[in-house]
Structure 1
Amino acid sequence: MPVAPIIMGHSFGGLFTQMLADRGLGAAYVAVTPGQPAGITTLPASTIWTGTPILANPFGKRGAKPISKSHFHFTFGNDLTRAASDAIWEEYAIPSVNRVFFEGVAAAFNEKGGASHVDFGRTDRAPLLVIVGERDHVVPPAIGRAIVKKYHASGSPAVVDYREYPGRTHRIVSQDGWEEVADDALEWATRHAAS
């Protein structure tokens, strides 16, 4: 592109955002409730539980697995009544590609060779903001903080900031009040891209 873009991504998209940042393809990056890159071994119990329907069957690695209404409620609709969560499941739930989950878990323990490797110490990386939701069961704050800590511990002078939103779940981008998060992300990214 003639001008480096602002790159934002949610969940696995947040992981891909970090991978694009590692390649120097943007002017600023926002990783929203991001999957963890290779080498981040923080795996809270809620995160493990959210992946259980897929990871429980290693022979299904090449397939796609649907998620039940009850598991969807725990994973994505934990701020909603069961009825409201079920309605969202009816409208949006589709089977997930299993391979991505298996590669993500394997990479957590293989920092240098994992499929999601990033150079945490890259000195010329454009600014990165990591956003998490306080009630997220998929990428709880412990993972967001571990990601940011790894970047900071690398000694790189590149800007890496962290924001945690109270009451927000993994649906942070579609949950009531998503506009506040979107406005904050855009404001942060445009300010940092300009500098």
Structure 2
Amino acid sequence: MTTSPVVFIHGLWLHASSWEPWLSLFRERGYEALAPGWPGDPGTVKESREHPESIADRGIDDVVEHYAAIIAELPGRPILIGHSFGGMIAQKLLGMDLAVAAVAIDAAQIKGVLPVPLSALRAALPVFKNPANAHRAVSLTPEQFRYAFGNAISEEESNALHERWSIPAPGKPLFEAASANFNPHSPAKVNTSNQGRGPLLLMTGGQDHTVPESVTRATLKQYRHSTAVTDIMEFPDRAHSLTIDSGWQEIAEAALAWLKNQSL
């Protein structure tokens, strides 16, 4: 087994501490695991809610540079596991040869992916309804969180997850991703043609409103010009909360099994 550390990268609206169950499981299985927050993220959910200005106006490039600096301090190139926008960041870093492998779970849309399903637009509406939100941090109400994350679980569980893990999120990455196909220098561009990169697993929840399965399958097609390993795994009954809800361990075990198959 490799001794590559595992770096977990959260997405919008979730605090880095939402990876705690994953960290425990991966450490039990012999991995060194860490889950650093995005640049500006306070240390706790409470502080994040009290100081949204510290999170605001952080774009994709800011986040990539932040994690690249963290990786540079590690003893070796890590395995990256990212959810939502964290999945996009993981793909960018893998394409830059800064990781040995990546698992991108319900990863945000990269440049070149064309389908924008109505459910994805509705999930992002709390941000898109005001252009000024590009420079702000925006919170989700419990109802908005249920539509974007918790639509495949009970309302009670969704509300509990919102209370436990949800934090304000910078609007900037969403605006950058939305305009990616009109910007030749978009920060949402990933080096999908890198032949020498490590293996990539794309995971998708079949009930996901925020990153529907069609987006993940379109992402897979973006890698068609690379001979590097690119796999996809679908969980038909799961939605965007799949990394944090009561079924999280099924997703984590699937990631662990895939890593083992890659001799990682």
The answer, yes or no, to whether TM exceeds 0.5 is yes
Q: Is the 8 A contact 1:4 1:27 kept in 2?
A: yes
Tell me which residue corresponds to 1:35. Answer: 108
Identity percentage over the alignment? Answer: 35
Shift of 1:94: 2.2
The match for 1:122 is 194
Q: TM-score, normalised by structure 2?
A: 0.68
How far apart, CA to CA, are the structure 1 residues paired with 2:80 and 2:139?
29
Structure 1 gap segments, 5+ residues each: none
Determine which of 77, 84, 102 is the counterpart of 1:11.
84
- Code of the aligned partner of 1:161: D
* 8 A contact 1:30–1:130 mirrored in 2: yes
Q: 1:178 to 1:108 in 2, by over 3 A?
A: farther
Q: Look up the match of 2:244.
A: 174
- Distance (Å, rounded) in 2 between the aligned partners of 1:179 and 1:87: 18
The corresponding residue for 1:76 is 149
- Larger deviation, residues 184-193 vs 37-46: 184-193
Which of the numbers 117, 132, 140 marks the counterpart of 1:59?
132
Amino acid at match of 2:223: Y
What does residue range 108-187 of structure 1 map to in structure 2 within 5 Å? 108-110=181-183, 112-152=184-224, 154=225, 156-187=226-257
Q: CA deviation at 1:3?
A: 3.1
Q: Which stretches of structure 1, 4 residues or more, deviate above 3 A after TM superposition?
A: none
Stretches of structure 2 that go unaligned for 5 or more consecutive residues are: 1-73
Which of 78, 95, 98 is equivalent to 1:25?
Answer: 98
For residues 219 and 141 of structure 2, the distance between their equivalents in structure 1, rounded to whole angstroms, comes to 29
| Structure 1 residues 25 and 190: CA distance shift in structure 2, 3 A | farther
| Number of residues of Structure 1 aligned to a counterpart in Structure 2 | 191
* Equivalent-residue separation in structure 1 for 2:230 and 2:145 (angstroms): 31
What's the TM-score once normalised by structure 1's chain length?
0.91
CA offset at residue 193 of structure 1? 4.7
RMSD: 1.6
